[in-house]
Amino acid sequence: MTITERDRHYVSTTLSEARVNLEIETDGMTLNLGPQHPATHGTLRIIVKLDGEQVVACEVGAGYMHRGYEKLCEVRTYPQVTTLINRIDWLSHFANEVPFILAAEQLMGIEAPPRAQYIRTIFHEMARLGNITLFLGEMGLQLGAMTATFYAFRDREHVLNLLEAVTGGRFHPNFDRIGGLKDDLPKGWVDECHAVMKKIRGFCDEMEDLVMGNEIFQVRTRGIGIIPKHIALSYGLTGANARASGVDLDLRRDDKDIAMAWKHADFKVWTHPDGDSFARYWVRLQEVRESTYIIDQLLDGLPAGPIMAKVPRIIKVPAGEAYVQTENPLGWMGFYVVSKGDLGPFRVKIRTASFNNTSVIPWVCRGLYVPDVITVLASLYFILGDIDR
């Protein structure tokens, strides 16, 4: 069953190159989207070969933001690495730190105290809120609905303020430490957080009416850029992109061994069977709502106690290998860390969600019209730093 599908994929990719329009003899046209196109979230270049207005072949040119983090990690000590990896996916800041810190902790054989685990999970979810609320507005912007963006920036501000109150940083908290956290929560923060969660749920309702209920939005997203389930799995799509294709995978629920507090929260993992751009938007909207409920539950159950385990002052990680991945806002983010017992890692492989999520673009864009390419790019939702690292 999958063999024929694979064959079809390869045959169609090669055949489409050679296709000619028999009715009117037209030359193909090559259109360059980017690297400086507002719809590509930064410096990503999409080269599309057009036949009329239809995309015949599509190629992605990444690397305009390649900073070589895997190489840079090798010359830093473990605590210094978190500063770097904050900037991989700059909207998910804290969520990037978590898998690396967990991998280092796994190698050292220590575990953060429960309170630290709870606060970590809360911040991880808040990174999701900050990230995905922006998407919910931005998707409207890319389809021509400017209003939604302003709502998104307004409500994202509340989340960033909360983060700033604890960590001092709005974009790059650099708050996670091997063995726990840098600081505890300030007084009164929990109540404020509950209030913000209510606001975010209100924002979700607004977006449901304003964007998802909009007829133009629906026409432009429904049935556009359909990714079937087996393609999503084979390309390694994760996060909402995979769940919108009916893949029921969420590491927050499925990974029971990880030292995070998701196992103490009750939440639903939303999937959508359609796999089109609308489904991806819909799943993300539900996720934001679910995320606010997770935070509410964790705040209610926040245990008392220390926020830092006993850790030597100079951190030397024993030799070994560890791979930890978590469900980040954009999908799975994993760190494969090899240690030789030094102050710094020997090799760090960073598995980012956007890298796999964008690799499907050449597949999904074939046969689309040019404006639909923008819809697909917007709905796949990648961050350039997350592709290029």
Partner 1 sequence: MSSADTDAPVAEAPTDERRDALVARVQAKLGAGVVETHVIPGVDAWVRVTRDAWADAAQVMTDLGFTFFDYLSAIDWYPNIHGKNEEPPTNPIVVPATSAELEHGVTGGETRFQLIARVYSPEEKIGLHLKADLPDDDLAAPTWSRVYFGADWHEREVWEMFGIDFRGHRNLAHLYLPGDFEGHPLRKDFPLLARHVKPWPGLVDVEAMPGEPDEDEDATEGGEGE
Binders of partner 1 among 33-62, rule CB under 8 A? 62
Task: For partner 1, give the closer residue by CB, 115 or 124.
Answer: 115
Task: For partner 1, give the closer residue by CB, 87 or 230.
Answer: 230
Element (H, E) at 176: strand 176-177
Evaluated on CA atoms 75, 78, 83, 88, the torsion sign reads positive
Task: For partner 1, give the closer residue by CB, 72 or 165.
Answer: 72
Binder among 226, 233, 269, 370 for partner 1 (CB under 8 A) = 233
Residue 111 interacts with partner 1 (CB under 8 A): yes or no: yes
Stretch that binds partner 1, among 122-130, 164-172, 201-209, 306-314 (CB under 8 A): 306-314
Binder among 45, 87, 263, 347 for partner 1 (CB under 8 A) = 347
Across the beta sheet with 320-328, the strand order is: 320-328, 331-339, 347-351
Residue 243 interacts with partner 1 (CB under 8 A): yes or no: no
Length of the chain: 389
Q: What is the distance between the alpha carbons of residues 244 and 274, in angstroms, rounded to a whole number?
A: 7
Residue 98 interacts with partner 1 (CB under 8 A): yes or no: no
Stretch that binds partner 1, among 76-84, 149-157, 218-226, 375-383 (CB under 8 A): 76-84
Question: Pattern of binders to partner 1 over 187-206, x per CB under 8 A?
Answer: --------------------
Q: Are 149 and 138 within 8 A, CB to CB?
A: yes
Residue 100 interacts with partner 1 (CB under 8 A): yes or no: no
Angle 147-167/114-142 helices, nearest 10 degrees?
A: 160
Q: Is 187 helix (H, G, I), strand (E, B) or coil?
A: coil
Nearest-approach distance from CB 231 to partner 1, in angstroms: 7
45-60 per-residue burial string, b: 16 or more CB within 10 A, e: under 16: bbebbbbeeebbbbeb
Nearest-approach distance from CB 359 to partner 1, in angstroms: 4
Nearest-approach distance from CB 98 to partner 1, in angstroms: 16
Q: Are 288 and 309 within 8 A, CB to CB?
A: no
Q: Pairing between strand 176-177 and 54-61?
A: unpaired
Residue 70 interacts with partner 1 (CB under 8 A): yes or no: yes
User: Per the structure block, which two tokens stand in for 148?
Assistant: 């939604």
Q: Which residues 117-176 are close enough to bind partner 1 by CB under 8 A? A: none
DSSP string, 276-331: SHHHHHHHHHHHHHHHHHHHHHHHHT---S-SB----SS--PPSEEEEEEEEETTE
Residue 15 interacts with partner 1 (CB under 8 A): yes or no: no
Stretch that binds partner 1, among 69-77, 145-153, 162-170, 369-377 (CB under 8 A): 69-77
Stretch that binds partner 1, among 145-153, 216-224, 229-237, 265-273 (CB under 8 A): 229-237
Residue 114 interacts with partner 1 (CB under 8 A): yes or no: yes
DSSP summary character for residue 259 = S
Residue 373 interacts with partner 1 (CB under 8 A): yes or no: no
207-246 per-residue burial string, b: 16 or more CB within 10 A, e: under 16: beebbbebeebeebbeebbbbeeebbeebbbbbbbbbbbb
Stretch that binds partner 1, among 16-24, 131-139, 197-205, 232-240 (CB under 8 A): 232-240
Residue 385 interacts with partner 1 (CB under 8 A): yes or no: no
Element (H, E) at 132: helix 114-142
Binder among 188, 257, 266, 273 for partner 1 (CB under 8 A) = 257
Beta bridge partners of 177: 180
* Interface size with partner 1, residues (CB under 8 A): 80
Task: For partner 1, give the closer residue by CB, 24 or 256.
Answer: 256
Task: For partner 1, give the closer residue by CB, 121 or 221.
Answer: 121
Binder among 79, 165, 296, 370 for partner 1 (CB under 8 A) = 79
Residue 264 interacts with partner 1 (CB under 8 A): yes or no: yes
Q: What is the distance between the alpha carbons of residues 39 and 241, in angstroms, rounded to a whole number?
A: 18
Q: Are 333 and 314 within 8 A, CB to CB?
A: no
Nearest-approach distance from CB 244 to partner 1, in angstroms: 15
Nearest-approach distance from CB 351 to partner 1, in angstroms: 4
Q: What is the distance between the alpha carbons of residues 387 and 55, in angstroms, rounded to a whole number?
A: 23
